[in-house]
Structure 1
Amino acid sequence: MRRQAHQPDRQQLIGRLRTAHNNSALSLEGERCMGNANRGLTGMEQPVETAEVLASSTRRAARLAPTSPQPGVPIPDMVDRLPRRAAAWPATVWWLGVHGGAGESTLAGLASGSRPADHAWPIPTANATAHHVVLVARTNYSGLIAAQRAATEWAANTLPHSISLAGLVLIADTPGRRPKPLRDLEQVIAGGVPQVWHLPWVNAWRFAPASPLDPLPNEFRQLFADLSLTTTSSTHAQN
């Protein structure tokens, strides 16, 4: 009897995730005026990859991805947009956590020359200055939806031209394989941003902050290499 009592809740969750996948905020009405670069915004991206492929690499290869805002993307409501803050400080990369606990401070502490954006778009104060931004989110349902909204905000061309989106970092929220509805939702979001990196769950960081002196998983090193960042552990070693 106890198993039957919990079954409707599980089915409701699965239904909710599938509804979010099918009726995504990134979806558009039809495909008019849409090219291959927009397929992630319409939910019509390439076939879903297996979890094994996703786990083997942090980068999504051989797919067309938009590198700039796309025509035809509906402008999101103000309530669905992230705040904006003036940012005068220089940074090679700004990590923009799209929700609380996304991991922006952890990444900033591990990569020299990068900064956390404090959950807001870092708008440059100086003329002719561009800020390179990487969205950061956890792979649970609420984290993915927050990433989806931020990607829509960028794709709809609502941000100043001084903001350059490099991609999206998805950090595992639990160890192990994610449910298929979540992986499907990831695929939809991934088709609407320039690049996606998948970072693994690090159990040691549940008990203590990430230390630059600890060995980093390969996925983190690959992320920093792709963004031309050096790890703070390398900086400590040189000093």
Structure 2
Amino acid sequence: MGAHGGSGESTFAKLLPGSVESQHTWPQSATPLPGGIPVVLMARTNLSGLESARNALTQWASGTVPGIQLLGLALVSDAPGKLPKPLKDFAHLVGGGAPRVWRVPWMEQWRTDPPTAPDPRGMPAELRKLIKSVQVLIQKS
């Protein structure tokens, strides 16, 4: 689930077989799943993205979105290079509200050539780790 538009939700859905976009809303199921619907919350690392992630995590933690198994928060780099200290600190604070946090690095080539199907070639290790981790967590649930 993307916490906001441009979070990487649709790209990630293409990379993880069996996943679907939730159009920036908590998914719902007509028939409750044991353990809840597995969700990865996606957000960019800019101020607006981190605030949207914080708001979504607050909703989840308050119990107002039942039937969700939040697997974690994927923070997608909004620009190349290191995060400025204030954003790094805020990302750390926001991430404390999630069961786990993954960092997705800036992918310059995706600006003009986004992935259209799962293909680990050329993916940074952090992204391969995220996909593998989510697959393992879903299998366990």
The TM-score normalised by the length of structure 2 is 0.89
Q: Give yes or no for the alignment of 1:191 onto 2:96.
A: yes
Q: Give yes or no for the alignment of 1:203 onto 2:89.
A: no
Q: What letter is aligned with 1:198?
A: R
Q: Distance between the aligned counterparts of 1:180 and 1:128, measured in 2?
A: 40
Q: Give yes or no for the alignment of 1:166 onto 2:71.
A: yes
Alignment equivalent of 1:144, drawn from 38, 50, 57? 50
The SS at the match of 1:222 is: helix
The answer for the alignment partner of 1:225 in structure 2 is 132
Q: Distance between the aligned counterparts of 1:180 and 1:194, measured in 2?
A: 23
Percent of aligned positions with the same letter in both sequences?
Answer: 44
**Number of residues paired by the alignment?**
133
The answer for the alignment partner of 2:39 in structure 1 is 133
Q: Distance between the aligned counterparts of 1:128 and 1:113, measured in 2?
A: 16
The answer for the alignment partner of 1:100 in structure 2 is 5
Which has the larger Rg?
A: 1
The TM-score normalised by the length of structure 1 is 0.53
Unaligned runs of 5+ in 1: 1-95, 230-239
CA RMSD, Structure 1 to Structure 2 (Å):
1.4
1:158-188 CA-to-partner distances (Å, cap 9, x unmatched) read 111x111111000000000110000010111
Quote the offset at 1:127 in angstroms.
3.6
